[in-house]
Amino acid sequence: MALIKSVRGFTPKFGSDCYFSENATVIGDVIMGDECSVWFQAIVRGDVNSIRIGNRVNIQDGAIIHCTYLKAATTIGNNVSIGHRAIVHGCTIHDNVLIGMGAIVMDHVVVEENCLIAAGAVVLENSHLDAGCIYAGVPAKKVKSISEEQFKETVERIANNYVMYAGWFK
């Protein structure tokens, strides 16, 4: 069973049909929507500030979602995939975003809808990523606009697949 832990008077709250792996950790001021999944060794740590997560969000193996005390909460929209070992910290992620494996998204970043952040990218503090674009590199830079085909093949497909994968484990 996942570690679901209260801290500072906050207990995580979840929508319907969510999946939490046996060694996932969800702590504190976390509110998560429907059909979300938190995978093996992933951590959603709302101990120092709030974390708000929409519907159909998957937080893959080893990913960390955190925030900064008194300065930067974390908000994640709907249909968002957080790749294996990614770090999402004190930022705002809008709907239909894929954050690639090992990517880092820092405090006060805003990622607009329909974006893809490539594996290993580092999105620096206070950055604003435009809707419908692919970002890659260290530091992350806009590579190009995402085509409808790329969007369906990556962002949309992965979000849908993780809802299916979660069903295998329930």
Give the pLDDT score at 39.
98
Structure tokens at 164: 């299916």
Give the pLDDT score at 34.
98
Give the pLDDT score at 1.
86
Classify 50 in phi/psi space as left (phi over 0), alpha (psi -120 to 50) or beta. beta
User: Please, are residues 27 and 51 in contact by the beta-carbon 8 Å criterion?
Assistant: no
Backbone angles phi, psi at 166, to 5 degrees: -60, -35
> How far apart, in whole angstroms, are the C-alpha atoms of residue 122 and residue 130?
15
Give the pLDDT score at 92.
98
> How far apart, in whole angstroms, are the C-alpha atoms of residue 98 and residue 132?
11
Domains defined along the chain, listed by start: 3-169 (2.160.10.10)
Segment-wise mean pLDDT, segments of 10 residues, the chain, 170 residues: 96 98 98 98 98 98 97 98 98 98 98 98 98 98 94 93 96
pTM metric for this prediction:
0.97
For the four alpha carbons of 39, 42, 46 and 51, in that order, the dihedral sign comes to negative
> How far apart, in whole angstroms, are the C-alpha atoms of residue 3 and residue 139?
34
Query: Of 94, 134, 90, 137, nearest to 109 (Cα)?
Result: 90
Structure tokens at 124: 């620096």
Side-chain half-sphere of 74: how many Cα atoms within 13 Å? 27
Give the pLDDT score at 141.
98
Query: Of 75, 160, 150, nearest to 116 (Cα)?
Result: 150
Give the pLDDT score at 96.
97
